[in-house]
Chain A
Amino acid sequence: MKAFEYASPRTEREVLELLSADRGHTEILAGGTDLIGLMKKMIVKPDRVVSLNRVDSLKTIDANSTAVHVGAMVTLEDLADNPICEFYPAIRQAIGEMASQQLRAQGTVGGELCQRPRCWFFRDKRGLLAERGRAVEEGDNRFHAIFGNRGLAKFSAPSRLAPALIALDARVRILGPNPGDETLMPLEVFYRTPKSEREREHTLEPNQFVSQVILPHPEGRVSASYEVRHGMGPEYPLVAAAASVLVTGGIVREARIALGQVAPTPWISREAIDAIVGLPINYETAEAAGQAAVSVASPLSHNEYKVQLAKVAVKRALLKAAGLETGGLS
């Protein structure tokens, strides 16, 4: 690991004062489960690491009459254990799939959302875009994107929490360097597909940070997450989906469906939403929504299998949200 200056601010304001506007100069340390590994491999080489570990205001979960505010430094374990998750089953299920107690106890909400891609070309120092996409196109792309992959970026978004939070219509609170510089942004807008090596997988500037996730009250919506994995071990899922639906009179009135591990950003499936709204959730309609989701898939040379998995993940997330048997393991 390259030597760096360590800073341990106590307040959000102090954090902002320590962050540089120049990309690559400072890194924000949350639980460390991703960043420390990236620094050891010299993929990330900051001059200064700004730890959020002593900023107590980032560690709280507060509910008011309209929303729940989850601090970025709340650990995944603490979030899943919190009673508010009774109202957001998709969150508890997503965290419940993460099999390592260590990573759940260390990992934080903000860190989970900002973790870097698992793409092995990126982890092999060949760049976020893996040599302008060529390494992925010509190499082993079995875990790469099947949607949104026609540009240079072909990695798949790694967050396991983001699909659930996007399905639940979460926003993130982003703080910036100037007084009052605070943005509330839908989580799906926070992510973007980078077009060059100078860009990141999200819209955060180097001198900004995510301080909170804000969850609207579910107001009768039911939700679920479903991961398709190789086994019950600690690996990342191959594909994941989350759904949040408002059902009245047996008919889906509103739906939000997001997939993970399938595109350079968490992927909202407009096609699946359109396919299920106005219908009851049953095996046939859920399957049709899964089919609709993958109608726009563009698999690479070695990942066509993920198209079938994405279809199944959407189907099962919808069935699970409706409290029906999924036909899967969970």
Chain B
Amino acid sequence: MVRKTHVATTINGEPVEFLCEARQSLLEVLRETLGLTGSKEGCNNGNCGACTVLLDGQPVDSCLVLAVEVEGAQITTIEGLSKDSRLHPIQQCFLEDAALQCGICTPGFIMSAKALLDRDPNPSEHAIRFQLAGNLCRCTGYDKIIRAVQDSAKRMAGQNK
């Protein structure tokens, strides 16, 4: 009988409790225990960023976080971005700018872009390319993704006026 640990955390603003094995990653628990399948498994070793979530506001590769470590933490996943059935401006801009093809990398890119824009609301193109280097896309090339992040920055600045 494998011993499981009880973990209480907050995911997308809601209190959540789960049981997990020490060896399970946060990504595994999000997807397989909690049914939050928006975060994707790509490389499973911290190269591709498809599993990016915000942990206490910081972007992390959830495949490299042990689920037992998130006791008491605040987690935001891609599922937590839309509000009242309205897409977050970054999600909307990715759609409008066609910044995706197969879509596997998209949740990670959007969470990474959110972390970047939370920190730097008006990043240069160089800053966007540099800060999103921990997210890999194998379909579109990166230009449309960069454009979507630039458009997101403009739209979010407009909303905050």
Contacts and interface: CB of A to CB of B under 8 A. Distances in A.
Nearest to B71: A8
Interface in A1-52: 1-6, 8, 29, 32-33, 36-37, 39-40, 49, 51
A203 B153 CA distance: 48
Interface in B60-114: 60-61, 63-66, 68-69, 112
A105 B133 CA distance: 14
A1 B27 CA distance: 14
A101 B66 contact: no
B22 A36 contact: no
A6 B2 CA distance: 13
A101 B22 contact: no
Main secondary structure of the interface of B (DSSP, over half): mixed
- Looking at chain A, what size class is its interface with the partner chain? 20 to 34
B33 interface: no
Nearest to B60: A106
Interface in B104-151: 112, 115-116, 129-134
A36 B25 contact: yes
Contact of A232 (B52, B64, B130): B130
B134 A101 contact: yes
Given A100-B133, A102-B59, A51 B69 contact: yes
A3 B22 contact: yes
Interface string A225-250: 00000001110000000000000000
Nearest to B46: A33
Nearest to A7: B22
A99 B68 CA distance: 27
B66 A6 contact: yes
Nearest to B20: A6
A103 B134 contact: yes
Given A6-B5, A32-B66, A232-B129, A102 B22 contact: no
Contacts of B47: 234
A118 to B, nearest CB: 12
Interface string A97-120: 001111101100000000000000
Contacts of B49: 100, 102
B69 A53 contact: yes
Q: Which of B5, B64, B112, B115 has the most CB of A within 10 A?
A: B64
Given A32-B64, A33-B61, A33-B64, A102 B46 contact: yes
Contact of B68 (A6, A100, A103): A6
B68 A40 contact: no
Given A33-B64, A49-B22, 20 more contacts: A1-B23, A3-B2, A29-B66, A32-B66, A33-B61, A36-B63, A36-B66, A37-B45, A40-B44, A99-B131, A99-B133, A100-B46, A101-B116, A102-B49, A103-B46, A103-B61, A106-B60, A106-B61, A106-B65, A234-B133
26 contacts: A1-B23, A3-B2, A3-B23, A4-B22, A4-B23, A8-B69, A29-B66, A32-B64, A33-B46, A33-B64, A36-B25, A37-B45, A49-B66, A51-B69, A99-B131, A99-B134, A100-B49, A100-B133, A101-B115, A101-B131, A102-B46, A105-B59, A106-B65, A232-B133, A234-B47, A234-B133
Interface of B: 2, 5, 21-23, 25, 44-47, 49, 52, 58-61, 63-66, 68-69, 112, 115-116, 129-134
Closest 6 A/B residue pairs (Cβ): A100-B134, A99-B133, A6-B22, A105-B58, A1-B23, A37-B45
